[in-house]
Structure formats: structure tokens, C-alpha cells
A and B are shown apart, each in its own frame.
Chain A
Amino acid sequence: AQSVAQPEDQVNVAEGNPLTVKCTYSVSGNPYLFWYVQYPNRGLQFLLKYITGDNLVKGSYGFEAEFNKSQTSFHLKKPSALVSDSALYFCAVRAPGSGNTGKLIFGQGTTLQVKP
């Protein structure tokens, strides 16, 4: 069965420090991987995706993520955190061949808290 795990409920980091939000996945074949961010009382916003190609993917707001097939991971990173990055982050996976369903399997979410 396909699944996504975000092992940390919350990540705390000081402003200006690098941040990492972890994600591991389990899916047959080559996955499509995504990160979304949710600010308070808002819908989710797309950050970045990995479909194929370069393992390092760059996205919105200075975020990037590294696809590691051997470790089945897709960790979200940013070199220098901002207080405004504080939000709820979701990793998601879609299995190839899922066709028109477009069904994304979401992780449970990780709250990122950036302190001044």
C-alpha cells in the first residue's frame, strides 16, 4: 500500500538557520512527490514537485527538496529560515499509473515554527 510518513509533528528552528522537514514514502515504482504548505485558516499551496530528472528540486519561497530513491525520502529544506515560513507542511505522493484519479496520499503534516 502507498503511504507517506512525516516523522516529526513539529520542527523548531531559529530565524536565519537552515531548516529540514522530513518525509519518507512507500510506493511501487517511481513516485511523483510533492510538498504543500498551509498557512493558518488557508487552503494548501503548492511548493514544489518531483516527477523525474534532477534529484534536487527547487520551489517557491526559496524552498528545495532532495529526492533520495535509496532512502525513499523527499526532505524539504531551506538554507535560511524566516519567521514567515512558520506554517503546516504536507508531503504527498502519487503513484505512477494511478491515471485519472490524480489521487495524492498526504502525510500527516509537520508544523514548522521559526522563532526570531
Chain B
Amino acid sequence: NAGVTQTPKFQVLKTGQSMTLQCAQDMNHEYMSWYRQDPGMGLRLIHYSVGAGITDQGEVPNGYNVSRSTTEDFPLRLLSAAPSQTSVYFCASRTQGATNEKLFFGSGTQLSVL
């Protein structure tokens, strides 16, 4: 019953540091995505992937990189953290196909960049 697992739950970085947010799902979902949640702005899509080896940009991709080497894992990399990247990050997955639109979310990573 793991679903979508995100690590770490909390992280504090200094400006310019790099880090990777981990995301893994055990539901064999083709589609995986990263969102950031900011107060009063809802969730915004950063990057997404429709399968291993395939990634694409979402609404706010700048400052973030992703890769998808396996179906299960979809890490999000911050190359040089900036205070504007202080946010709560959510990974989400679902099966592909127009009739199955239900996203499964992880519990989130709260990131602070000082």
C-alpha cells in the first residue's frame, strides 16, 4: 500500500546548493509529474513524464531538471537553489489513457531555501 513515496519530507538549503527530491511509485503508472504548491496559487506543474526515458516541461520548469530511467522513479533536481524555490513539492502519478484521470499524490516535500 505504499503508493507514491517522496523523500525527504523537509529540507533546508542555502542559496546555490543543489539537491534531488526523490519520488517513487509502486503502481506501475506510466505518467508521473512534479508540482509545486505556493500559498494562494494552487499547484503548478513543473515537469512530467509519460514513461521511462520520456520527460517534458510543465508550466514552471526553470531551475529544475528531471529524468526517468525507470517506471518507478522520477527524481526532481534543483541545480542551484534560489529563495524563489521555497515551496512544497508534490509528486503525482496515474495510469495513461483518457478515461483514467485520477492522480495519486505523495505526501510532499517542504523545501526552504535561505
Contacts and interface: CB of A to CB of B under 8 A. Distances in A.
B105 interface: yes
B107 A43 contact: yes
B94 A102 contact: yes
Interface stretch (A12-20, A72-80, A106-114): A106-114
Contacts of B103: 36, 44, 46, 104
Contact of B101 (A43, A51, A106, A107): A51
Interface in B51-87: 56, 58-59
B111 to A, nearest CB: 15
A49 B102 contact: yes
Given A43-B4, A51-B99, A101-B48, A90 B105 contact: no
B42 A106 contact: yes
B21 to A, nearest CB: 13
B48 A103 contact: yes
Interface in B24-49: 31, 33, 40-45, 48
B59 A103 contact: yes
A12 to B, nearest CB: 19
B100 to A, nearest CB: 10
B90 A43 contact: yes
B107 A41 contact: yes
A34 B43 CA distance: 13
A107 B48 CA distance: 19
Nearest to A9: B40
Contacts of B56: 101
A101 B103 CA distance: 13
B49 to A, nearest CB: 10
5 contacts: A46-B102, A46-B103, A102-B31, A104-B103, A107-B42
Contacts of B101: 32, 34, 49, 51, 94, 102
Nearest to A4: B42
Contacts of A9: 40
B105 A45 contact: yes
A53 B96 CA distance: 21
